[in-house]
């Protein structure tokens, strides 16, 4: 059962220093994963946002690999902590940093985030080769969405707080040096 979210308003924002930051904490049960705590910071002045998710019982460092091969795979639940690296080989690697967020989504949600970044790169690119590469990646993403192409989704988390919740996902160990 979910616990009611607890919010504290009027805190100082780390970015704009206005007292318009809201801190929120919630406890939630995720089927096949367990209890998690969801934390967020949102500033109504500068739109600063930071979020993370932590399992009640920390896991071991893990690497999850999923072959996305059909439209049904887009609905597979994904839990990504702020410490996790998201990889789609030959397309993108998203490494954690100070502004990295944790979230609960599905495979399509991750693809949407990556598509947004690639679309922005496409729009900002001045080099024809960069534009062509971005356009080809965007086409591949569309084919994956319609079940006409495949891609591999990898999540590596040294904190053990991430997961891909599917029998299709392969759980393994993070290769040495991957979390350094």
Q: Count other C-beta atoms under 10 Å from residue 66's C-beta.
A: 19
Token pair of 160 as six digits: 């053990």
Indicate whether 152 pLDDT > 60. Answer: yes
Indicate whether 110 pLDDT > 80. Answer: yes
Dist CA 57 CA 69 (whole Å): 31
Dist CA 145 CA 149 (whole Å): 8
Q: Does the domain at residues 58-174 carry the CATH identifier 3.20.20.80?
A: no
pLDDT-derived band at 2 (thresholds 50, 70, 90) equals low
Would you say 8 and 23 are in contact if contact means Cβ atoms under 8 Å apart? yes
Indicate whether 1 pLDDT > 50. Answer: no
Q: What is the DSSP string of 106-127?
A: EHHHHHHHHHHHHHHHHHH--S
In the chain, CATH 2.20.25 sits at: 1-57
What pLDDT, in 10s, does the model give residues 55-104? 888 788 999 999 999 999 999 999 999 999 999 998 889 898 877 889 99
CB contact burial 116-135 (16+ within 10 A = b; e otherwise): eebeebbeeeeeeeeeebbe
What pLDDT, in 10s, does the model give residues 121-134? 888 888 899 899 99
pLDDT more than 70, % of the chain: 96
Would you say 64 and 171 are in contact if contact means Cβ atoms under 8 Å apart? yes
What confidence score (pLDDT) does residue 16 get? 96
CA neighbor of 157 nearest in space, from 103, 76, 99, 80: 80
In the chain, CATH 2.60.120.1040 sits at: 58-174
Q: What is the CATH number of domain 1-57?
A: 2.20.25
């Amino acid at each position: 059962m979910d616990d009611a979210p607890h919010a504290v308003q009027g805190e100082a924002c780390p970015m704009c220093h206005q007292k318009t930051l809201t801190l929120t904490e919630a406890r939630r049960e995720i089927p096949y994963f367990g209890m998690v705590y969801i934390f967020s910071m949102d500033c109504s002045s500068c739109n600063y946002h930071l979020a993370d998710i932590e399992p009640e019982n920390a896991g071991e460092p893990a690497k999850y690999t999923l072959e996305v091969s059909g439209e049904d795979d887009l609905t597979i639940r994904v839990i990504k902590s702020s410490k996790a690296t998201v990889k789609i080989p030959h397309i993108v690697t998203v490494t954690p940093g100070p502004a990295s967020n944790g979230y609960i989504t599905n495979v399509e949600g991750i693809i949407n985030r990556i598509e947004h970044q690639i679309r922005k790169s496409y729009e900002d690119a001045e080099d024809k080769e960069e534009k062509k590469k971005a356009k080809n990646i965007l086409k591949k993403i569309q084919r994956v969405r319609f079940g006409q192409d495949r891609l591999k989704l990898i999540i590596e988390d040294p904190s053990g707080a991430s997961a891909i919740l599917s029998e299709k996902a392969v759980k393994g160990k993070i290769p040495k040096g991957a979390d350094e």
